[in-house]
Amino acid sequence: MKKGLILILLIAVIAVVPVALSQETVTITVTVADETGAPVSNAVVTVYDNTGTKVTEGTTDTAGNVTLTIPNATVTFWIKLATGKYIVYTRSDWVNVTAITINASTMNYVTITANTTEITATIVPLLNNKTEVKISLNATIYGLESINVTFLGSKVKYPFIEERLVEINVNGTIYTDTNTVTVDLATGDYTVIAGYKQFYTFTWTWQTFVLIAFIVTVLVLVSFAFVKIGKSALTVKPRKYLKIGK
């Protein structure tokens, strides 16, 4: 009876162990290299899990290394090499892995620009599509996987002036009626240009004309008031003198 109970307990433990192991984290050393193959110091390495949650972050040392503890599951490394220069790297297999090198010189790249300023784009790696990273343009991203690039549909540039996305140029192919394109960095390099156009958002209604007329009237009245005050200030009354002794 006891032997049977022990056997049942052993089977239960064996069944639970793989599940427990699958939930463990792993600690790895990441070496980061730029597009020339040189180690990058002060690169910011951010890790996102398969829910798109940022789980850890670190900065490389002078040798380009950083040690991180990550989930033993699909994760995406988002690495900022320098201002406007990034690497995206997604991986799922961490069996017996203690160190990896993420080298931009072995990857393809996409340059992402816009024909105007202060535009952002959101990057989504399709191997881990709950992860979203927003970047400012202009930017270059290195990788070996497919990513979605989503641009702002519109942006207020000045009062009553709005910039709207009208096209996206991907390696010479024009896309309209969309603000998202997919580029496969496993197949080659890409150039993505977002084309924006200015639109006036000021609407001329009868209320607008009434408002303008009111403002003009107020300005005219204020101007007349200042002119009158100015004339009064310039008018000098003759002085009266009192003669003494006569």
Domains of the chain in sequence order: 25-106 (2.60.40.1120), 107-203 (2.60.40)
φ, ψ for residue 118, nearest 5 deg: 60, 40
At 55-103, the pLDDT tens digits run: 999 999 999 999 999 999 999 999 999 999 999 999 999 999 999 999 9
Q: What 3-state DSSP class applies to 112?
A: strand
**Confidence class for position 240, pLDDT limits 50, 70, 90:** low
* pLDDT at position 155: 81
Q: What mean pLDDT do residues 37-58 have?
A: 97
**138 cis-preceded (ω within 30 degrees of 0):** yes
Task: Give 49's contacts (C-beta < 8 A, 6+ positions apart).
Answer: 55, 70, 71, 73, 74, 75
Q: Which of 11-25, 206-220, 227-241 has the highest mean pLDDT?
A: 206-220
At 90-100, the pLDDT tens digits run: 999 999 999 99
Rounded Cα–Cα distance for residues 112 and 149 (Å)? 9
Q: Residue count of the chain, please give it.
A: 246
Rounded Cα–Cα distance for residues 137 and 29 (Å)? 30
Residue 229 CB neighbour total at 10 angstroms: 10
Rounded Cα–Cα distance for residues 52 and 146 (Å)? 16
* pLDDT at position 226: 73
Amino acid identity, position 226: F
Residue 33 CB neighbour total at 10 angstroms: 20
* pLDDT at position 230: 62
Q: What mean pLDDT do residues 2-21 have?
A: 48
Q: What 3-state DSSP class applies to 29?
A: strand
